[in-house]
Amino acid sequence: MYNKLQYISQGESVEEQLYNIHSALDNGCDWIQMRFKHQKPKKAFALAESVKFLCEEYLANFIINDDVHLAKQFNADGIHLGLSDMGVAEARAILGKTKIIGATANTFEDIVKQVNNGCDYIGLGPFKFTKTKSNLSPIIGLDGYRSIIDKMKDSGIEIPLYAIGGITLEDLENLVQTGIHGIAISGIITKSDQKSKLITELNEKLYGNVII
């Protein structure tokens, strides 16, 4: 089963991205989603090359956000696709059956569509307001997660569901109780000056104090 904690990378430059990713890996993250939007191909290539090496060194999953062809070029573990990115079925045709394809959803209807197209996990959000992403979809909130997960159960939809968007350590207990599989976060890890402690606490809440 997929790791319950995903780190979505941050940074305006290749150097800043690498520093943040290396720091997350070094302090216990083992799932990296490389998100480096609106960059020149040369910079995205340079970053992916280095992150691929780092993830192999730390035995971490390497997922690339949005850029299917870059994921194929570096034989990444998978891709994460937003609602306005390439479709899941098209990405699957390019990457093959063995790669992980995650897909964003904001509503139950989005989930049905993405699952029918063959994705492997869903990133459902935003949970709360976040500055990390522009053009934010409508806020879902705790009640929204409960409602959507109930609809999934009623419809027999079983797929790992990750909460995303403005999540803090204090939110986690209530979020886990909704039935989510895990969380995808960026800012709280990037900005933390006690990353090892934070990541340990996040994992404890996600895994219920089970040794991972």
User: CA dihedral defined by 163, 167, 168, 169, rounded to 10 degrees?
Assistant: 0
Q: Is 110 annotated as a binding residue?
A: no
| 35 marked as part of a ligand binding site | yes
**Do 120 and 101 meet the contact criterion of CB atoms below 8 Å apart?**
yes
Which pair of tokens denotes residue 93? 């045709």
The answer to whether 98 is annotated as binding is no
Closest CA to 120 of 53, 61, 199: 61
User: Any binding-site annotation on 141?
Assistant: no
Tell whether residue 131 is among the known ligand binding residues: yes
Whether 132 has a binding-site annotation, put simply, is yes
Tell me whether residue 36 is annotated as binding.
yes
168 among annotated binding-site residues = no
Say if residue 133 carries a ligand binding annotation.
yes
Q: Judge whether 200 is annotated as a binding position.
A: no
Question: Looking up tokens 């995808």, which residue turns up?
Answer: 184
Q: Is 171 annotated as a binding residue?
A: no
146 carries a ligand binding annotation = no
- Alpha-carbon span 78 to 71, nearest angstrom: 7
- Which CA distances in Å does 169 have to 107, 132, 151, 174? 24, 17, 26, 10
Q: Which residues are annotated as a binding site?
A: 33-37, 65-66, 85, 104, 130-133, 166
Q: Which residues are annotated as a binding site for Mg(2+)?
A: 66, 85
